[in-house]
């Protein structure tokens, strides 16, 4: 009787082990390849390693690109990529629009309420009544 | 900018004097901005850099320190830096077509 209970407990533990997060939401090389293809398009590459990164929820994908080892980070849903090895180095990229979320964030940091700009003493180039105004901080020299 | 205002009468550029790299331009700017009308200001502005030294400004007030202060506060590190009406920033020289695209996009959003 006692033995049976222990067997049941062991079986339960085994089942639990199978569904621990990370494995349940795991990423295979095939999935990683599909998602990486959104970024690299026709550019040839080969996924050689997939493992969870130190940052939970982010997968570290090792790949060979132009005969070099590179690392790409992907989220489990295949929506976000971070690729430290291109023009937008280390940027977070939304794969559906292929847009850099980092660039957008930087852009937003630099935005200013247009009404705050010191336009009172600006030199006006063009029609004063023009509908569209563009403020230019300019060094005249 | 001159090309754009020729082609697009619905766009005007507001030049905010920001001599970040050339503090010595302050006198010329002050002289130009002392003129009464915008037209006159622009004329003075364009000519003022040909002749040296710049005529003494007839008014006391200078906008340069205020503009510099504003620029420091908002980290405007280089020129030209443009701001569109939706508040978005364009740093550095931008190609004409790219600039027009950004301008139109921002005015649609508004």
Residue ranges of domains in chain B? 2-77, 80-110
Residue B54 has a pLDDT of 75
Interface confidence: ipTM more than 0.85: yes
Q: Which of B12, B38, B81 sits opposite A130 (nearest CB)?
A: B12
Residue B110 has a pLDDT of 57
A115 and chain B: CB distance < 8 Å anywhere? no
Residue A104: other Cβ atoms inside 10 A: 13
Q: How confident is the model at residue B22 (pLDDT cuts 50, 70, 90)?
A: confident
Cβ neighbors of A30 (< 8 A, separation 6 or more) are none
- pLDDT tens per residue across all 141 residues of chain A: 555 655 555 554 444 444 433 343 689 999 999 999 998 999 999 999 999 988 888 998 998 888 888 889 999 988 999 988 666 678 888 989 888 888 888 788 889 999 999 999 999 999 999 999 999 999 876
Task: With a cut of 60, say whether residue B6 has pLDDT above it.
Answer: yes
**A112 contacts in chain B (CB < 8 Å):** 74, 83, 87, 89
Residue B53 has a pLDDT of 72
Q: What is the DSSP string of A101-131?
A: HHHHHHHHHT---GGGS--TTPEEES-TT-S
Residue B27 has a pLDDT of 86
Residue A26 has a pLDDT of 81
Residue A132 has a pLDDT of 96
B31-88: pLDDT as tens digits: 889 998 999 999 888 887 676 677 777 887 889 999 999 999 998 988 899 999 999 9
A136 and chain B: CB distance < 8 Å anywhere? yes
CA–CA separation, B73 vs B38, rounded Å?
27
Domain ranges of chain A: 26-113
Task: With a cut of 90, say whether residue B7 has pLDDT above it.
Answer: yes
User: Chain A closest CA to B89's CA: distance in Å?
Assistant: 6
Q: Which of B18, B42, B63 sits opposite A138 (nearest CB)?
A: B18
The model's pTM: 0.69
């Amino acid at each position: 009787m006692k033995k049976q209970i222990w067997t049941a407990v062991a079986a339960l533990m085994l089942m639990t082990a199978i569904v621990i997060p990370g494995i349940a939401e795991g990423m295979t090389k095939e999935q990683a390849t599909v998602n990486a293809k959104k970024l690299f398009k026709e550019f040839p590459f080969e996924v050689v390693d997939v493992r969870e990164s130190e940052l939970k929820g982010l997968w570290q994908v090792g790949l060979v690109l132009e005969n070099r080892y590179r690392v790409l980070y992907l989220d489990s849903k295949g929506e976000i990529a971070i690729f430290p090895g291109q023009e937008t180095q280390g940027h977070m990229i939304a794969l559906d629009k292929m847009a850099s979320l980092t660039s957008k964030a930087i852009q937003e940091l630099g935005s200013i309420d247009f009404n705050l700009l010191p336009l009172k003493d600006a030199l006006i180039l063009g029609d004063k009544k023009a509908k569209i105004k563009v403020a230019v901080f300019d060094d005249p020299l | 900018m001159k090309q754009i205002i020729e082609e697009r009468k619905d766009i005007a550029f507001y030049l905010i004097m920001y001599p970040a790299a050339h503090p010595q331009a302050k006198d010329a700017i002050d002289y130009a901005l002392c003129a009464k009308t915008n037209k006159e200001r622009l004329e003075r502005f364009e000519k003022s850099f040909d002749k040296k030294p710049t005529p003494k400004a007839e008014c006391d007030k200078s906008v340069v320190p205020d503009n510099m202060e504003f620029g420091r506060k908002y980290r405007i590190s280089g020129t030209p830096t443009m701001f569109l009406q939706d508040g978005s920033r364009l740093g550095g020289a931008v190609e004409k077509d790219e600039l027009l695209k950004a301008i139109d996009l921002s005015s649609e959003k508004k």
